[in-house]
Structure 1
């Protein structure tokens, strides 16, 4: 009898192990969508993402998370962490041979996607599996085919798109600069009232790339070409000259640069500087509503243009809950989730969804959203839009800024 019980226990343990292995190692892009969502029900999905924007955090916590629970029985856990740290965690797990990871879903794009793809840190192609991507997005859009010059290959799903703008206090600045040349003059005429985040920060690095674009003969000389340092040497030198020339008139005479956009926003909200900036044309609205930014906050872009990009959701190579991750991404790409994200109450960012694929009622709901006084008209944003350069430029600006500006 004891031998029989032991045998049954062994069989049970083996079946459990096989079931666990099938869930974590199975190719979940093959089953039907109903099977995927059925497997996801009642599970937990751990979403690792940058947590530096309270409006974005509130959107996840107050809108997305309850909807996941209501529609799919999923428990979504948001884990705030800078993306490079997320990739380092995944790299450590990969080197240790850890196939049962701690991360199910990540928010990613640009240089981080390039690094994750090249180091085998992602699950693989999955976007063809998602009904909402197929039904509501232009799957052949160039914006979804490459990410900062890196082929996407279906390894990340488009979650949103943003465009870089500058914010200013219209009670203090009547006419904001119309070009980077005018910004140069404005900084000298208003010492201590402008600064930018360090090049290690995503926003600070984008500011530097705007200067690089402005110093080139044409912006396309940068974003339309692979990085060749010799080819852009003169343009880069003009960039460092520009930045060194304004240093003495920056906040604290350039002796300290904000470590993050959050720090720059705080300086702006306290009136120490009169401008801030960011990769979301409508992000100021929630901050105005919360009383963080003054009601007089408005936004502007400058010649030769404003850099914009698409950002994505992806699944790590060792996600323990791939059905849950796929279900969560599909839900976050839905028209309803995109509409809630489009509204200024939480995030207010633009959407990569294809309006022509939406129902007439859903299109009407998008069109009637009032994005707020601080948001530039769509026509202005579209006219000024500039594509991202390849990811290698991000690293170049980070390294050279420290050598050419900080250490000067």
Structure 2
């Protein structure tokens, strides 16, 4: 009898588990059915759905100033204005975020742990090609529609790949040239003028050897000015077609090489090395993707007080970094509300201020109200930092990432080796 009672008890437990499992599955199905279709909903519905949600933002965590901006400026504002709790999750590398999403997709995980991710470039390419993104959501964001130039080439294309509204622009980096106005009275603002200046001032100029990111960008600026602008490189090109287009670039770089620092027999291996040479007076120019770096280094006493920056008349490369929503985000409505807030004039202007971050805005300064434009103008970014308007009017989009590696390898073959 005891054995029969035990068996019967076990059977009852098993049946109960089956029933609970069925109920749980039914509840999950109902939950999925009741979840708002945010990509087809109105904004007021999305904002209402987001209330009370906790949104997890996965991002590179290596900057104290950026982390403080998110934790102490953005998170309290989102909580107060939208009743959304924002949690920042620091990561060592964006590739770790992509690898986590790939694993979750392989495991068919529907409710992921990532609601927003900070991505661009190769990571966006991988995410897009592997269907790791939630969908085209940017057109739903009121602040994106009102303040962002969504048709601008450096917004609509992420290193040559169309974003298709699957990631929202968050901030920008733009290439600038750095010079000492005590030594360079009239900085050259075209590659032709730079060539003449280099020849007239032998040993005063060089650039980091590719594949240094900034040295590679300098080569691409030469490429664009000597081969007809950036537009040809936005098209689909075979490697042979690309190589054929690059001949004027190698001719230019080889022509100036004997007049470079150390007669072009060697190149600084990094931007840090070039900055050190500039600070020591060995060369009269440096360069780089951070428009405010020169001012910051003046403030630190590294660069001379006469340091200034300039851009080329034809423009300089600008790359945008973005915020994406993963395919399995648990709180897509909350994610959209947070991203919308990050694109508000208040959030973008605060981010622009060196007291918080000091990075260029993703929104268009020309779209700001007079009040916000005045607030922006009042921010002191240092004596060597160009205005937001001047930078914005000289932006060029990055070319496709797969072309960059070909150009770098070709530089080694056509310039470094000869």
TM range (shorter): 0.7 to 0.9
> Structure 1: which 5+ residue stretches go unaligned?
none
C-alpha RMSD of the superposition? 4.4
- Cα pair 2:127 2:133 within 8 Å, conserved: yes
Contact 1:168 1:299 in 2 (8 A): yes
Deviation at 1:280, TM superposition (A): 4.0
Residue 336 (structure 1) shift: 0.5
Deviations 1:225-247 (A, max 9, x none): 44344444344133345446639
State the SS of the aligned residue for 1:10: helix
Change (3 A) 1:372 1:406: same
What is the CA deviation profile of residues 27-82 of structure 1, one whole-angstrom value per residue up to 9, with x for unaligned ones?
44355123332142xx251332485x776555445533454455445243252545
1:2-401 paired onto structure 2 within 5 Å:
7=16, 10=20, 14=24, 18=28, 22=32, 27-30=37-40, 32-40=45-53, 43-49=54-60, 51=62, 56=66, 59-60=69-70, 62-68=72-78, 70-71=80-81, 72-77=83-88, 79-83=90-94, 86-91=97-102, 93-95=104-106, 97=108, 99=110, 101=112, 103-138=114-149, 144-171=155-182, 173-184=184-195, 189=201, 191=203, 194-196=206-208, 198-199=210-211, 201=213, 203-216=214-227, 218-220=228-230, 222-223=232-233, 225-243=235-253, 246=257, 249=260, 254=266, 257-258=269-270, 274-291=284-301, 293-302=303-312, 304-354=314-364, 358-377=368-387, 381=391, 384-401=394-411
1:337 deviates by 0.3
Once the 2 structures are TM-superposed, how far is the Cα of residue 167 of structure 1 from its aligned partner? 1.9
Equivalent residue of 2:361, what SS? Answer: coil
Contact 2:144/2:340 (8 A) holds in 1: yes
Cα separation, 2, equivalents of 1:370 and 1:35: 38
**In the TM superposition, what is the alpha-carbon distance from 1:332 to its structure 2 partner?**
0.7
Pair 1:377–1:221, CA change in 2 (3 A)? same
1:101-156 Cα deviation digits (max 9, x unpaired): 55432333345433432232222111133232244445566654444443322211
Consecutive unaligned residues in structure 2, runs of 5 or more = 1-8
Please give the secondary structure, in 1, of the residue aligned with 2:39.
Answer: coil
User: Residues 144-188 of structure 1: CA distance to partner in whole angstroms, max 9, x if unpaired?
Assistant: 444444332221112234432112344554444443345456667
Say which SS state the counterpart of residue 254 (structure 1) adopts: coil
Paired residue total: 401
